[in-house]
Amino acid sequence: MGFLRCVLGVILVVSLVLSVLGDPLVPALCILGDSVVDVGNNNNLQTLIKANFPPYGRDFFTHKPTGRFCNGKLATDFTAEYLGFTSYPPAYLSQEARGKNILNGVNFASAASGYFDRTAQLYRAVTLTQQLSYYKEWQSKVVSLVGKDKANAIFSGGIHLVSAGSSDFIQNYYINPMLNRAYSPDQFSDILLKSYYTLVQNMYDLGVRRIGVTTLPPTGCLPAAITLFGSGSNQCVSRLNQDAVSFNNKLNNTSRNLKSTLPGLKLVVFDIYNPLLELISKPTDNGFFESRRACCGTGTIETSFLCNARSVGTCSNATQYVFWDGFHPSESANEKLAQSLLEQGFDLIS
């Protein structure tokens, strides 16, 4: 662990120097997925799943809501900083994703999206299939801006992060009798992983060679999950966590298969389950005061439109809380998660 901390320190110093020189460690950072990484794509959709109003964004450097499901920065914002970028990948559906702004990568993520396209469709979010179509569209724009050779170097050298699966379970499978009566959690995982396998293959065929995918978090410990599925208990819901662990094991196995069949592919599975569980289980050891309740409102259920300026009970200091809303970590927790991702992701930048 000491060696990893040392490596992390070296990378942070190098990325700081490179960012000062205006030269990131990789040519681009592209992000696909769900609300954990959405930076505002849902702002432009006819969906209830949005975060473009207070108190979201109150601790962001602009002190304004951006569409991030957080009081401040996401883990991927910190990741962009660590990689030496001086700005964050813009939401692809926003006005910022124009001209040369897109050359360092863009963010295609949409809250309530997942590996199972029907999940996104239920909430009028952008499916992963559509996100990949937008990615192809982005590639064409990059080619027209810099030419094919330079564009291909951006596609192959850029890091591509994928965050999905949580919404498939929490916002669809567990609350949808048509799914949970037809499939066991194990069978549903297999459906999701088939979609993941196809996604990575398609990205590889488009010239992508560096992909990072996040595991499921300890879904049974999310404040809203405890409220919805905990039967009145204040403890993590063990069956949800067991499903997440099972999915994560399969995700690792599937990723190993992909690496063995796709030459030159750098694919890293980022474990966010254990780092987040550590913050939840031992909040005071990690500089937090509260890990069961979220900061927003009562801290038991509020997210998206339920977490708003009129929510009663919202905390004044989110740095003490592991969770900002019922489903999403606070900026302080995201920073710690991003540091863990950096330690795990050395292969993607080497």
Q: pLDDT tens for residues 297-308?
A: 988 888 888 899
Give the rounded distance of the alpha carbon of 1 from its chain centre: 25
Mean of the per-residue pLDDT values of the chain: 93
Query: Among this protein's residues, is 325 annotated catalytic?
Result: yes
pLDDT value at residue 233: 85
pLDDT value at residue 8: 53
Q: Secondary structure of the chain in the HEC alphabet?
A: CHHHHHHHHHHHHHHHHHHHHCCCCCCCEEEEECCCCCCCHHHHCCCCCCCCCCCCCCCCCCCCCCCCCCCCCCHHHHHHHHCCCCCCCCECCCCCCCHHHHCCCCECCCCCCCCCHHHHHHCCCCCHHHHHHHHHHHHHHHHHHHCHHHHHHHHHHCEEEEECCHHHHHCCHHHCHHHHCCCCHHHHHHHHHHHHHHHHHHHHHCCCCEEEEECCCCHHHCHHHHHHHCCCCCCCCHHHHHHHHHHHHHHHHHHHHHHHHCCCCEEEEECCHHHHHHHHHCCHHHCCCECCCCCCCCCCCCCHHHCCCCCCCCCCCHHHECECCCCCECHHHHHHHHHHHHHHCHHHHC
pLDDT value at residue 2: 52
pLDDT tens by residue, 270-309: 999 999 999 999 999 999 999 999 999 988 888 888 899 8
Give the rounded distance of the alpha carbon of 86 from its chain centre: 20
pLDDT value at residue 310: 87
pLDDT value at residue 299: 84
Take residue 189 and report the two structure tokens written for it: 């995982």
What percentage of the chain has pLDDT greater than the value 70? 94
Average pLDDT over residues 177-203: 98
pLDDT tens by residue, 37-51: 999 999 989 999 999
CA-to-CA distance for 185 and 179, rounded, in angstroms? 9
**pLDDT of 199 strictly over 50:** yes
Active-site choice (255, 328, 330, 332): 328
Average pLDDT over residues 138-154: 98
Take residue 143 and report the two structure tokens written for it: 């080619």
CB 334 within 8 A of CB 79: no
- Sequence-separated (6 or more) residues with CB below 8 Å from residue 98: none
Average pLDDT over residues 220-232: 93
CB 34 within 8 A of CB 67: no
Active-site choice (15, 19, 35, 94): 35
**pLDDT of 91 strictly over 90:** yes
Query: Among this protein's residues, is 63 annotated catalytic?
Result: no
Residue type present at position 286: N
**Residue 201 CB-half CA count within 13 A:** 11
CB 24 within 8 A of CB 85: yes
pLDDT value at residue 13: 52
pTM for this predicted structure = 0.93
pLDDT value at residue 232: 82
Query: Among this protein's residues, is 35 annotated catalytic?
Result: yes
**pLDDT of 211 strictly over 60:** yes
pLDDT value at residue 12: 54
Higher pLDDT among residues 4 and 266, named by residue: 266
**pLDDT of 22 strictly over 70:** no
